[in-house]
Structure 1
Amino acid sequence: MLINHNQNMLCLDEFDILELRENADECDYLFVVSPKIETKICTKCGSCNVVNYGRYTKLVRDININEHYTALKIRGHKHLCKDCGSIFVDRFNTLDLCSKMTNRLRCKIHQLSLTKLFKHIAREYKLSVTTIEKIALAYIREKDSQHIMYSPEVLGIDEAHLNGSIRCVLTDINEHLLFEMLPKRDKQTLINYLDSLPDSNNIKVVTMDMYRPYREAVYECLPDAAIVIDRFHVVKLINDVLSDYRKTLCKQLSAAEKKEINSVQKVLNANRKDLTANQNKKLGYIYSKYPELKMAYNLKEEFREIYECTNRRAAVLKYTKWSRKVKQNFSPYISITETVNRWSLEIFNYFDHPYTNGVTEAINGCIKAIARDGKGYSFEILRGKVLYGQAYKTNAIFSYNKFSPTVHYATGPSNRSSLNMIQNLMDSYKQISGADIDRLKLGLF
């Protein structure tokens, strides 16, 4: 009865359990087992003319059982082929011949390695971090060999500063997921990757910031795609110049006056429509003393409002009037007009293709968190974790959409109309929300 209980604990049908040893101090299990069926066919020539040829013992690690670290001690016979003379041991589906762990433990580490820190997995299974890293790397390379490349309709390009290196991050904007991470962000690295994509003519739009090598690479490889500069990067330009202007102004003022202006630093960066009555009152006081700051803020708001235009023509006209006003009244913003003029085609493409790089920025945040927590990861390991892990999915939520449409009626067919109504409501929700809950890659909807 005890052996049967132990057999049920282990759940490995290839073995008979001879003994279960426990280490009470370390909370460890050691199952001493023997093969139920010995390998009686030569693994080299296929002959059945095989005899036993001594014994062997093999120690392997297994998954934890009842929160105990677990290992197997396999005792079996060596075998001699009398036809070809080769000596071999038993083969098992449970583990590879040269492996020091069961396949199910390796599979478990595969799954965990993409989402958990290696040191935590090592602690959970009483293994070395180096062992976990080797297993994870082999798994990532296996995933790479199975990875199916495609060309998304809307491609996002950005960079992530990770542990002293700058990596190029590409995303599928429509699907809200990481597409690829490249080791460098230079023009040639990006060209090589874009050239490798199948059906690259499927890419209609590319979102990016104002980094010239990105633009040059896209125009060379994807001449028919429209480049769209992320609107938030454009607006950030004027916020940065406004901040610089405020600092320059402060240098000419007394300590008390500096304190006054610095007290509205965040308010100056805020949108006018978001200001409270108290903030407007505070700004009014500052404007009465520093009218040039009022001009800077109003021009900043007028620039931001360009993105409220509903079409390209209106946006270009609004910008033209704004730039004329800047040249006449406020020279600190001249640098903004120069930048916009250099990137005018790509900036105003937004009004024909209203996409932003928000998805890419959010994914970058996740990548940076993984890199920070797992400091010291190689590029290959980090890329594998962020590309194949589940880091960008929302927490699991009960989803009615996962059930099979086949329904068994417990109270007869009279309830069919009610169930059909419920199904119709669920289908309507899918159409309204635009995606199933379980398909969300980021919590951005």
Structure 2
Amino acid sequence: MADNALLEKMLDLAEFRIDDLKHNDNDIMFYVSKKEKPNVCPIYGVIEPKLRVQQRRNQEVRDINVLNKRVGLTINRTKYKCMECKSTFYETLDSVRQNSKMTTRLREHIAEQSKRRSFIELERELDISNVTIRNIFLEEARKIPQFFEIETPNIIGIDEIHVQREGKSRKQAWAVICNGSDHTVIDMLRDRNKATIIDFFSRLKQPYNVVFVTMDMWQPYRDAVYQALPQAEIIVDKFHVLKIVNEAFDKYRKSFKTELGKRNIKLKKDRFLMLTRPHKLTMKGIVYRDAWFSEFPELKVAYDLKEQFFNIYEATTAKEAVRKYTDWLVAIPDDLEIYTEVAKTVKNWGREIFNYFSYGNLTNAFVEGINNTIRAIEKQGRGYDFDVLRAKVIFFINHKVIRTSFKTDALFYSQSFTDEDINELYSLKNRDYGVEFKDIIKAINEGLL
């Protein structure tokens, strides 16, 4: 009896009496039953009812691991008949939710741990399914407001992450909205459609604070900004413009590979040599590159045009950049069609591309960087869906919050409150700027996601 009292103290579930205990190398099973009979009929609320045992059954539930062993409870549940109202009911449990297969404290443990650790890791540790852990995690996430009142920055960056979902034939794109002034993540959106982006902008705390929006060349982004934030200027990211030039040239480069095989000539490292900027090549690299040009002079023409386009981004003003671009267009031979798509893109996105030179050379690199980090979280979790990934990033990493100091003058030096005084006091709320990039990276490095 004394041993049971000690075990009950260790189990720390006051409602249960321990009837038996079994264990092996991997598991511990407590056989328990309720200490007290119900003192209220839960059907009609009869106090101190006369009860008759109708039936007994065992219910197995999981509990928190102990000593790296799985712990279970086999609960001897009693079904009673209330002789006052003739209704029947099973005794209620304080430690286990109705129809649950785990104790409340295990559920709370999973809810807390899943915020900071991957579901896969918890599944291995607890031997509880990934689906169950996910559902508990999302239940916890739903307790948090789904839209924080985050401060509206002067610079917003929009980009997307593409993830391959199980059972899907193509990758899904989830939009990521970032604060370019403070380098924080503001939110993640389920898709990158125009309506979704407009809806997000409509919920900004102070939409007219936005001066610049950086992005890639995705038409729905542009349409959404011009409709919802008409005062903002769009800046197309430099990297995405240069990428289409590189891709056009690289496709042309590959066309020479077949010709090279026919001539039975050995030339080295063509892709590296052709796509690396000239000032980054070693003398040996320049020799190899020029060997290609000697064999294929037309490849040198395309290469020089690629480099001429890259040099547009050395311009210090939009006017100079436009002049350099015009010179580039004129220099393209009539029989070289590889840059036709580039010219078409610049024509369609000219204003947004040349805004880069007008407004301080802003790029979307800060968003690209955080997207790579978010992809790492998704990969680590082995297929987190949108709801899980968003909650991991937005809800369970500390936000950058500026706490304003309390102004005592309004309280102690005013005989009465005016509307202006009250508005000032309300303005003292903490300012939330979103999740800092460095904190997301830190959480990953420390294995907390």
CA contact (8 A) 1:151 1:198 kept: yes
Counterpart residue number, 1:160? 162
Unaligned runs of 5+ in 1: 395-434
Offset of residue 152 of structure 1 = 4.7
Distance 1:232 1:438 in 2: 20
Alignment partner of 1:170 is 2:212: no
Distance 1:151 1:83 in 2: 61
CA contact (8 A) 2:184 2:436 kept: no
* Distance change >3 Å, CA 230–CA 438, structure 1 → 2: closer
Counterpart residue number, 1:417? none
Q: TM-score, normalised by structure 1?
A: 0.72
State the identity as a percent. Answer: 29
Offset of residue 236 of structure 1 = 0.7
CA contact (8 A) 1:264 1:283 kept: yes
Post-superposition Cα deviations, 1:227-274, rounded to whole Å, max 9, x if no partner, equal: 2212111111111111122223445555456642x6321121112232
Distance 1:439 1:367 in 2: 12
Counterpart residue number, 2:354? 348
* Distance change >3 Å, CA 186–CA 74, structure 1 → 2: same
Q: TM-score, normalised by structure 2?
A: 0.71
Q: Partner of 1:155: helix, strand, or coil?
A: strand
Alignment partner of 1:21 is 2:34: no
Q: Partner of 2:102: helix, strand, or coil?
A: coil
Alignment partner of 1:211 is 2:210: no
Alignment partner for residue 386 of structure 2, among 375, 383, 387?
383
CA contact (8 A) 2:27 2:69 kept: yes
Post-superposition Cα deviations, 1:277-336, rounded to whole Å, max 9, x if no partner, equal: 221232233334444333333332332233344444443343343334346896643432
CA contact (8 A) 1:52 1:77 kept: no
* Distance change >3 Å, CA 73–CA 353, structure 1 → 2: farther
Q: What code does the residue aligned with 1:277 have?
A: M
Give me the CA root mean square deviation: 4.1
Unaligned runs of 5+ in 2: 398-433, 445-449
Counterpart residue number, 1:413? none
Post-superposition Cα deviations, 1:2-29, rounded to whole Å, max 9, x if no partner, equal: 44653454344x345524522315x211
Higher relative contact order, structure no. (Cα contacts within 8 Å, ≥ 6 residues apart) = 2
Q: Which has the higher helix share?
A: 1
Q: Partner of 2:440: helix, strand, or coil?
A: coil
Please give the residue correspondences for 1:401-440 in structure 2 after superposition, counting only pairs within 5 Å. Answer: 440=439
Offset of residue 82 of structure 1 = 7.8
CA contact (8 A) 2:52 2:83 kept: no
CA contact (8 A) 1:114 1:384 kept: no
* Distance change >3 Å, CA 342–CA 107, structure 1 → 2: same
Distance 1:253 1:121 in 2: 55
Q: Partner of 2:97: helix, strand, or coil?
A: coil
* Distance change >3 Å, CA 279–CA 369, structure 1 → 2: same
Count residues in correspondence.
Answer: 396
Distance 2:273 2:326 in 1: 27
Distance 1:181 1:373 in 2: 20
Please give the residue correspondences for 1:14-413 in structure 2 after superposition, counting only pairs within 5 Å. Answer: 14-19=14-19, 21-24=21-24, 27-35=26-34, 40-41=39-40, 43=42, 48-54=47-53, 58-75=59-76, 93-113=94-114, 118=119, 121-140=122-141, 142-143=142-143, 146-148=146-148, 150=150, 152-153=152-153, 154-163=156-165, 164-174=170-180, 175-177=183-185, 179-182=187-190, 184-253=191-260, 255-256=262-263, 259-260=266-267, 263-326=269-332, 332-351=338-357, 352=359, 354-365=361-372, 382-389=385-392
